[in-house]
Amino acid sequence: MSRDAILARMRRSLGVHPGDVTRRAEVADRLTRTPRGVVPARGQLAREELVRLFLDKTVAVQASCVRVASPAESKTAVLDYLRGANLPMRIRIGADRRLAALGLEADPLVEDGHGPSAGDDLACLSHAFGGVAESGTLMLHSGPDNPTTLNFLPDHHIVVVDADDIYGDYETLLDLVRETYGIGEMPRTVNFITGPSRSADIEQTLLLGAHGPRSLHVIVVG
Amino acid sequence: MHTTSPRFKTNAHEALDDAKLQRALGNVPKGFIAKRKKVADALPEFEALRDASRDIKSHTLKHLDLYLEAYEKKVIASGGHVHWAESAADARAIILDICRKANARTITKGKSMISEEIGLNDHLAANGIVPVETDLGEYIIQMRGEHPSHIIAPAIHVNKDEVEADFRRVHTHLDPARDLTEPTSLLAEARGELRAKFLAADVGLTGANFLVAETGTSVIVTNEGNGDLTQILPKTHIVLASLEKIVPTLNDLSQLLRVLARSATGQEMSVYTTLSTGPKRSGDPDGPENYHVVLLDNGRSSMLGSEFEEMLRCIRCGACMNHCPVYHAVGGHAYGWVYPGPMGSVLTPSLIGVDKAGHLPNASTFCGRCESVCPVRIPLPKLMRNWREREFERHLTPSVQRRGLSVWATLATRPRLYRLVTRLAARSLALLGRGKGRFRKLPLAGGWTDFRDFPAPEGETFHAAWAKREKAGREKTGRKETGPKGAGA
C-alpha cells in the first residue's frame, strides 16, 4: 500500500512513532480549536465604515458597485445595470428567495432563466453569503439557491450582498460557514471572488475578462 | 519530465544570446517587484503574517503524517476519494485509470506544476486522451510544445507577436484576415476557443494551492477563472497535489492567502479563491459528480527531518524568481526542469538528484533577495549552500574546481602564507597592469576576462590597507585624546 509506505517513511524521516499521544493531542487540539492568527486591523471597524471600506476595495479591484437602501431598490439597480451596459433584459437567477423577492420574474419586460448556466448567458444574478471588507471580496457557495456556474460562465455577473453580511476579515465569514454547516463541514464549493476575471499572461499586461465574467457588478443592500 | 539541468551552463549561455527571450525577460522585474512592494507596504501586518505563515507551515510539516490522515478522513466523509502516489509513474497511472473509468476523451486542466512534474500531458496523449491546458499562459505554451518558464507566469518568455503567430498557426478555422494586434483580441480569441472545450470535457484536473485538514477541502487560487470552469463543468474533478500542500484549518488558510497573492502578483487577493469539498451534494444543480484527490510524494517524505525540510514550506508564489538576478538574466527554461529560480535551485536537486542538478544551487549570486521576499521565510541561500557542500562531499564538483578549492583552503588556514601570497600577487598584477589599469586577458581567469576586463589591483592587499588605516586612526585619536604627550604611544 502506497499510503502506508508513504506515512511510514514520513514518520521515519521525522523520527516519530505513530502511537505518540502528545503529537496526536496537539493536532486534534488545533483542528477543534482552530486558532486565529494575525487579523489585519484595517477591517476591524464599525458597520458603516466597514461597508464603506468594502465599497472602496471593490472599486479598487475593477468591479463596479452601487449601494441601495432596500431590497426593493435592488431590482431597479439590476435593471439600471443591464440598461447601462447595453444588455438585453434577460438574466439568469438561482432559487434564492431573497432574489425571487425582487420581483424580476413578475416584470413583463424581463426575461429570466433559472437553474445552472449552460454557458450562453450574458448576465447572471447571484446573492452572496457575505463580503469581506479588507480586500473587497465576495463569498458565495454552491447549492440550488446560487448555482456556481452563474459565477463563472456569464459575461456580466451581478451580485447582491446585504450590508449586514459584510465583515472585516475572512475568518469571521468562515466562522459563519462553520455555524451554518457544522464544524469541519462545507458546501461543495465556496467561492471567494475579488473583482472580475483577468489575465496578465501576455507580456504581463493586465487584461480583464479571461475565462470568467468580464464585468462584476456588486449591489450592496442596506 | 525530461531534464536538461545537467547542461545548465550551456542553457544559460544560449539564453543570454537569445534576443527574443531577452526582450521577453525584460517584463519580469518591471511589474512584479514594484507591485509586491506597494501592496506589502500597504498592510502593516504583512511581516507578522509572514511569520505566522512560516510557523503554520513548520508546525504542519512536523505533524504532516497526522494532518494527512485527518485530511483523508474528511475527504472520504464528504464523498471524495484519496489516492496516494509514491512516484510520478504511480500518479500518472492513477489519473489515467480514473480517466478511463470515466470514458474520458478530453480532459481540461487548470494550472498545475505537479502535473508538469509527473509529465502528465504526454502520458495522457500517448493513451488517447486529449489534455487541454486552459490557463492562458499554459494554453500558449502547450500550443508551442513548450514547458512553463515561470511557476505562476508560464509564458513569460513569449512575446505578443509570437502568440499572434501561434494563434494563426493553430486556429486555422478562423478568418485569416482577423486583427490580432491588440492583446485583448488574443485574449478574446483564447476565451472563445476554450469555452467550447470547457463544456465538452469529461474530466477536469486542477492542482491545489492548499489542502485543508479541518474540512477535507482543496483550494485553488486563480485570476482567470479557468480553474473553476475546469472543475465545475465536467462530471469528474481530479485534484493533483503534493503532500506538503496541507494546512491544518480554514483560519490557517486565511493567513496564507494574505501573503500568497501579495507576494505573487502584488494583489491583495487573487480574483478567485475556491474551496472545494467532495463531489456535488444532492440538490446541487451543478458541480462534479466524482471528486478524486491524488496525493503525490515523489521524494518529499524523505526531505522531512533533513536539512532541506524548510523547502517544503514553499507556497509557490514565485516571488523568489521575480526578484532573482540570475532568473532575470537567463529565464526559467535554462534551469532545465520543472521548477526554476531560487526555489527550483533548492527543490530540483532534492527531487531529481544533486548529481543531475548540481549546477543549479551554484547559479546564485547569494544576494539574498529571494529570502528577503519569501512569504514563508525559507532561507534559500542557506539551503543552496547546503547543496554545494553535499555536492563537494560527494565529489561531484569538477576536479579543477576541487583542486582550486584545496589550494584555497591551504592558504586560507595559514594566515602568514595567505598574506605573503596575496601581497605578491597584488604587487605583481599592479606592476603588470600599470599602463591601462586593467587586463584584457589573464591566465586562469578566462571565465571573467572573456566577458569583461579585469581591473588591476592598486598594489596593496585589503589586509595591508586596513592595517595602515587602523594605525593611522589610532595615531589620530591618540593625539586628540591625550594631547602631544601621548602621541606615538
CB A207 within 8 A of CB B295: no
More confident residue, B217 or B466: B217
Q: Mean per-residue pLDDT for B3-9?
A: 94
pLDDT digits (tens, 9 = 90+) for B271-322: 999 999 999 999 999 999 999 999 999 999 999 999 999 999 999 999 999 9
Q: What's the domain range around A3?
A: 1-33
The whole-angstrom distance between residue B376's C-alpha and the CA centroid of its chain comes to 14
Span B336-348, average pLDDT: 97
Domain assignment present for residue A38? The answer is: no
How far away is chain B from the Cα of A136, in angstroms, using its nearest Cα?
Answer: 9
CA angle B348, B354, B355 (to 5 degrees): 130
Hey, is B247 helix, strand or coil? strand
pLDDT band (50, 70, 90) for residue B489 = very low
Query: Is residue A116 in a domain?
Result: yes
Q: For the residues B338-355, what does the mean pLDDT come to?
A: 96
Residues A53, A20 within the same domain: no
**Together in a domain, A28 and A120:** no
pLDDT at B169: 97
Interface test with A, best of B254, B260, B270, B297 (most A CBs within 10 A): B254
Is B155 within 8 Å of A197 when comparing Cβ atoms? no
All three cell numbers of A197: 476575471
Measured between beta carbons, the chain B residues lying within 8 angstroms of A19 are: none
**Helices vs strands, H then E, count in chain B:** 24, 12
Task: For residues B60-84, give the mean pLDDT.
Answer: 98
Least trusted range by pLDDT, from A177-186, A201-210, B401-410, B471-480: B471-480
In the three-class reduction of DSSP (H, G, I as helix; E, B as strand; rest coil), residue B133 is classed as strand
Contact assessment for residue A186 and residue A154, using Cβ atoms and an 8 Å cutoff = no
Q: Cβ separation of A169 and B254 shorter than 8 Å?
A: yes
Q: Which of B187, B247, B309 best tests the A interface by mutation, with the highest count of A CBs <10 A?
A: B187
Residue A39 domain flag: no
Q: Once rounded to an integer, what is the mean pLDDT over residues B376-381?
A: 98
Q: How far is A18 from chain B (nearest CA, A)?
A: 9
CATH of the domain at A57: 3.40.50.10420
Strand partners, B81: B292
pLDDT at B478: 67
B281/A196 CB distance under 8 A = no
Whether chain A has a CB inside 8 Å of the CB on B154: the answer is yes
Is it the case that residue B486 has pLDDT exceeding 60? no
Same domain, A11 and A86: no
Q: How far apart are CA B58 and CA B60, in angstroms?
A: 5
B417 to chain A nearest CA, in Å?
45
Does A200 contact B304 at a Cβ distance shorter than 8 Å?
A: no
DSSP secondary structure letters along A135-181: TTEEEEE-SSSS-THHHHSSSEEEEEEEGGGEESSHHHHHHHHHHHH
pLDDT of residue B488: 43
Give the number of domains in chain A.
2
pLDDT at B405 over 70: yes
Does one domain contain both A148 and A206? Answer: yes
* pLDDT, tens digit (0-9, with 9 covering 90-100), for B159-188: 999 999 999 999 999 999 999 999 999 999
**Whether residue A151 sits in one domain with residue A78:** yes
Does A118 fall in a domain?
yes
In a domain, residue A217? The reply is yes
Which of A129, A186, A193, A216 to mutate to test binding with chain B, by most B CBs within 10 Å of its CB? A186
Q: Grade residue B484 by pLDDT with cuts at 50, 70 and 90.
A: very low
Compute the count of residue pairs across chains A and B with CB atoms less than 8 Å apart: 269
pLDDT, position B170? 97
B265 and chain A: CB distance < 8 Å anywhere?
Answer: yes
CB spacing of B268 vs A41 below 8 angstroms:
no
B68 interface with A at CB cutoff 8 Å: yes
Q: Does residue A103 belong to the interface with chain B, where contact is any CB pair within 8 Å?
A: no
pLDDT of residue B449: 86
Which of B48, B276, B303 is nearest residue A38 as measured by Cβ atoms? B48
Chain A hits for B184, Cβ within 8 Å: 207
pLDDT in tens, B13-37: 999 999 999 999 998 888 899 999 9
Nearest to B285 among A15, A116, A200 (CB): A116
A38 interfacial to chain B (CB closer than 8 Å): yes
Residue A126: its pLDDT value, please? 98
Report the C-alpha gap between B36 and B380 in whole angstroms: 19
Give contacts of A 149-168 with B, CB under 8 A: 149, 151-153
For testing the chain A interface, which of B271, B284, B304, B322 should be mutated: the one with the most A CBs within 10 Å? B271
Cell numbers of B236, please? 469528474
Per-residue pLDDT of chain A (222 residues; tens, 9 = 90+): 899 999 999 999 999 999 999 999 999 999 999 999 999 999 999 999 999 999 999 999 999 999 999 988 999 999 999 999 999 999 999 999 999 999 998 888 888 889 999 999 999 999 999 999 999 999 999 999 999 999 999 999 999 999 999 999 999 999 999 999 988 899 999 999 999 999 999 999 999 999 999 999 999 999
Q: How confident is the model at residue B479 (pLDDT cuts 50, 70, 90)?
A: low
**Is A40 part of any domain?**
no
Residue A123 has a pLDDT of 97
What residues 184-243 of chain B have any CB closer than 8 A to a CB of chain A?
A: 184, 186-188, 191, 194-195, 198-199, 213-217, 223-226, 228-229, 232-233, 243
Q: How remote is the C-alpha of B120 from its chain's centroid?
A: 19
CATH class of B60-298: alpha beta
Instruction: Give the DSSP H/E element, type plus range, for residue B303.
Output: helix B300-303
- The answer to whether residues A25 and A84 belong to one domain is no
CB contact (8 A) between residue A14 and residue B65: yes
Q: How far is A73 from chain B (nearest CA, A)?
A: 28
- Structural contact between residues B212 and B250, judged by C-beta atoms closer than 8 angstroms: yes
Candidate from A16, A152, A204 with C-beta closest to B232: A152
Is the domain of A125 the same as that of A189? yes
Counting Cα atoms < 13 Å in the Cβ hemisphere of B279 gives: 18
Q: Which residues contact B227 (CB under 8 A, 6 or more apart)?
A: B110, B111, B134, B135, B206, B220, B272, B274
Domain presence at residue A107:
yes
Query: Which of B84, B267, B277 lies nearest to residue A186, judging by beta carbons?
Result: B277
Does B151 reach chain A within 8 Å, measured CB to CB? no
Question: Is A201 an interface residue toward B (CB < 8 Å)?
Answer: yes
Q: What is the pLDDT of residue B480?
A: 54
User: Is residue B1 over pLDDT 80?
Assistant: no
Compare CB distances from A171 to B134, B217, B254 and report the shortest one's residue: B254
The reported pLDDT for the residue numbered B434 is 79
Confirm whether the ipTM is greater than 0.90.
yes
- Are B27 and A204 inside 8 Å of each other by CB? yes
**Domain residue spans of chain B:** 1-42+316-397, 60-298, 413-486
pLDDT at B141: 97
Which H helix or E strand runs over B268? none
Whether A86 has its CB under 8 Å from any CB of chain B: the answer is no
The residues, ordered by sequence, that sit 6+ positions from B138 with a Cβ below 8 Å of its Cβ are B109, B111, B148, B154, B155
Q: Considering chain B, what is the average pLDDT of its residues?
A: 94
Same-domain pairing of A114 and A4: no
Q: How far apart are CA B199 and CA B214, in angstroms?
A: 32
> Do residues A123 and A176 both lie within one domain?
yes
